[in-house]
Amino acid sequence: MLQKLVIKNYAIIDNLVIEPDAHLNIVTGETGAGKSIILGALSLILGERADTAVLINKSEKSVVEGYFDVTDNESFKKALAANELDFEEQCIIRREIAANGKSRAFVNDTPVTLGVLNRLTSLLVDLHQQFGHLALEEDYFQMEAIDAIGGTSAQAFAYRDLFYKHRKVKGLLNDNREKHAQWQKEADYKQYLLDELVQAGFKPGEIEHASLQLKQMGHAERIIQVLSSARNILDEGEQPMVNELKRMGQQLQGITDIVPALKPLQERLTSAWAELKDIADELSVEEGKVSIDPEVMDELQQRVDIGYKLFKKHSVNSTDELLELQARLEEELKTTQDINNAIERLAKEEDELYKGLLDEGGKLSVKRKKTIPGFVQKMNELLVLVGMPNARFEARIETIQPGLHGTDSVQFLLDANKSGQMLSLQKAASGGEMSRIMLCLKSLTAKALHMPTLIFDEVDTGISGEAARQVGVLLRDLSAYHQVICITHQPQVAAKGSRHFYVFKQADKTGKLATSVKTLETPERILAIARMIGGEQPSEAAINNARELVEV
């Protein structure tokens, strides 16, 4: 709800404050007094483009501020959160225009772009000049009106929850199918690489070990010669070192009882003999391991060639890296199977949800179609009351594939002048007629729908008498559920207001004219309405008529 509108330095407005109440706020005044200028200023905080031509005093900036009570506006709360803006129960929307043409917008003192401002304020103010026509072009608004009148809003919300769930599952299914398609392109090649590694069948460190073996076999004769020579010196020559050490140790042992100091030397010599004897044995074993078998060499060479080829192919340097690659490929190919399983599961879930959409959408459609005749009848009755007796309203509903709003598509049509041709409202109705159509629609949906502050600019243009009175009655009834602001020239409409603002021009001390607004008390309201009936100097009859209108 708009609690206060502050306008400074805008066109012929120097400083203006308007504080509407929660119900029907009437704005009247002579042509040219500044009513449209007030709407123009309001449009700035709704996201309209700024123009420096509106600045009176070029040395000061123009400021328009709107103070809104958003305590129960859940949609607005969500929109603030979506734009990372803090929520406060009173939201202040401010627009500033500098003399250099720069314009800035703020929500609770936080700068925002015009796009964000427009989206947010569309949840706060419904100015029929901007919103009314657009709403009727949107299938959502028309379907929401049908659901509100038919009492199917809760069922429609439940359907939408199911729709969003189906869309989420379908999105996951499509993502997995895209992944699968991508994996499928690579799967055959990866399988080929894996098969090649599995067929090679390398064990950890095998290629390095085989390479070392080949190197040893390439030098087998020299290795055998060196090992044999060392072994001969130690254990098999004419005077084996091992035997000589053994003999020396025995000799020393024979005199240790005479020279005790030799006992440690004899023990060291015995230990050296044992060590050399062990070395000689190990040399013999190593000599036995050296092979020069051509078949073995050929087999090893083949394994090494395969290994180095795979090293180069996969840009790795060891057998262990090849085995890591093999494990990775196995895991990735297993993931492909996991995707297949996920696709199967999601496809089944998506199918079940889609059947649910068809079922719930069908039930919702049946109720909507039952609502249409009564809704159309009420609309045509209201159109007659608001001065459109020759108009014929129609709502057509068609079955479509499940969408956000169900399995229905609805279109509002109008024959404004008994032409026999039903056209969309945008083509069939004039601006004034469109405003009255919107008023009729909103009056029928007022109880069920949450709507922002509703602003009607001369909704009663082109009508008078009983039709104007009926417009006033609809506005008053609508204001029982929503804040309404209406600019009017009709006394029958003005008399229905709960608060009356009178817009006028007055000169300051310098003689410069500026727009002012006065909140009228009951006696002043009666006089203002009497002037709307009988001119600047209303007769007693006009005053009595005005009093009667106000008191009814």
pLDDT of residue 131: 39
Given 295, 317, 339, the domain boundary residue is 317
Q: Does residue 67 sit within a domain?
A: yes
Q: Does residue 379 sit within a domain?
A: no
Q: What gap in Å lies between CA 20 and CA 18, rounded to an integer?
A: 6
Distances (CA, A) of 418 to 355, 389, 391, 414, 428: 43, 10, 7, 10, 11
CATH of the domain at 25: 3.40.50.300
pLDDT band at 291 (very low <50, low <70, confident <90, very high): low
Render pLDDT for 196-251 as a digit per residue (tens, 0 to 9). Answer: 888 888 899 888 888 777 776 666 567 666 777 777 777 776 777 877 777 888 88
- Residue of 447 and 444 predicted with greater confidence: 444
* Interior/surface letters 238-264, b for 16+ CB within 10 angstroms, e for the rest: eebbbeebbebbeebeeeeeeeeeeee
Given 317, 333, 359, the domain boundary residue is 317
pLDDT band at 419 (very low <50, low <70, confident <90, very high): confident
Does the predicted model carry a pTM greater than 0.85? no
Q: Does residue 447 sit within a domain?
A: no
Distances (CA, A) of 380 to 78, 142, 429, 433, 478: 37, 16, 14, 13, 18
Q: Does residue 165 sit within a domain?
A: no
Given 258, 293, 317, the domain boundary residue is 317
In this structure, the answer to whether residues 219 and 106 fall within a common structural domain is no
Tokens of 106: 């703020």
pLDDT over 90 (residue 18): yes
Task: Report yes or no: 158 and 167 within 8 Å, Cβ to Cβ.
Answer: no
Q: Does residue 525 sit within a domain?
A: no
Q: Does residue 413 sit within a domain?
A: no
pLDDT band at 290 (very low <50, low <70, confident <90, very high): low
Query: Which range of residues forms the domain containing residue 257?
Result: 206-317
The closest alpha carbon to 162, from 405, 520, 442, 340, belongs to 405
Q: Does residue 406 sit within a domain?
A: no
Total domains, the chain: 2
Q: Does residue 430 sit within a domain?
A: no
In this structure, the answer to whether residues 105 and 213 fall within a common structural domain is no
Q: What gap in Å lies between CA 401 and CA 398, rounded to an integer?
A: 10
pLDDT of residue 530: 93
Which segments within 251-360 are labelled E, that is strand? none
